[in-house]
């Protein structure tokens, strides 16, 4: 399922809006947010789990049905679940989000920068023209890996240039959804 955009400056990490919480403690936090509940979540996920946000841009909530010949048949929900599980194995507290709203994405990038949280970003079509997104990424205070599912360099010419790449830590393109997993493994190995 697709995460619906929230307001600009939306900062709280979350997974799928309608998914069951990963732990009972997380359920308690969702039902009645409080400092105590947040502490319970922290205790359940472990103090050593480093947060990583995986941010997906416009149209990526339609993975699975969107041009499967290009992007594969894995749905967005399946991908998000797989990445949260892999993050757990790698000792990361992974939060996967998607929005079709540019302002929401920029708010998430500001929040990640303010908190020093590493990001895996698929900027989707915004990669190719969105200077505002590029300027938000340039403010990053931790690693940011740009991921593209398809090999953008082997596609239409307008996809060959990304305004994001020059301000990212690195870029993975053309390896399918495995690109997200490789980015997570890279971030897990960073001190």
Catalytic residue numbers read 71, 148
Quick one: which of 124, 130, 172, 184 contacts ligand DQA (CB under 6 A)?
Answer: 124
Quick one: which of 1, 30, 36, 125 contacts ligand DQA (CB under 6 A)?
Answer: 125
Sign of the four-CA dihedral 141, 88, 30, 25: negative
- Does the protein bind ligand DQA through residue 99 (CB under 6 A)? no
- Does the protein bind ligand DQA through residue 144 (CB under 6 A)? no
- Does the protein bind ligand DQA through residue 83 (CB under 6 A)? no
Sign of the four-CA dihedral 23, 28, 33, 34: negative
- Does the protein bind ligand DQA through residue 24 (CB under 6 A)? no
Quick one: which of 8, 45, 59, 75 contacts ligand DQA (CB under 6 A)?
Answer: 59
Cβ atoms of 179 and 150 closer than 8 Å: no
User: With b meaning 16 or more CB within 10 Å and e meaning fewer, what string describes 123-153?
Assistant: bbebbbebeebbebbeebebbbbbbbbbebe
- Judged by the rule CB under 6 A, the positions of this chain that interact with ligand DQA are 59, 122, 124-125, 127, 148-150, 152, 159
């Amino acid at each position: 399922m697709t995460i619906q955009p929230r307001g600009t400056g939306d900062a709280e990490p979350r997974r799928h809006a309608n998914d069951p919480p990963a732990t009972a403690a997380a359920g308690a936090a969702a039902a009645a947010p409080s400092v105590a509940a947040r502490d319970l979540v922290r205790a359940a996920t472990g103090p050593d789990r480093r947060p990583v946000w995986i941010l997906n841009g416009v149209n990526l909530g339609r993975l699975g049905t969107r041009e499967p010949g290009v992007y594969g048949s894995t749905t967005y929900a399946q991908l998000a679940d797989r990445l949260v599980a892999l993050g757990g194995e790698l000792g990361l507290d992974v939060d996967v989000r998607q929005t079709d709203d540019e302002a929401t994405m920029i708010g998430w990038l500001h929040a990640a920068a303010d908190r020093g949280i590493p990001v895996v970003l698929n900027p989707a079509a915004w990669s190719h023209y969105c200077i505002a997104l590029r300027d938000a990424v340039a403010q990053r205070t931790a690693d940011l890996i740009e991921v593209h599912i398809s090999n953008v360099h082997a596609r239409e010419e307008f996809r060959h240039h990304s305004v994001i790449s020059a301000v990212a830590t690195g870029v993975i393109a053309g390896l399918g959804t495995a690109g997200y997993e490789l980015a997570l493994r890279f971030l897990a190995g960073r001190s």
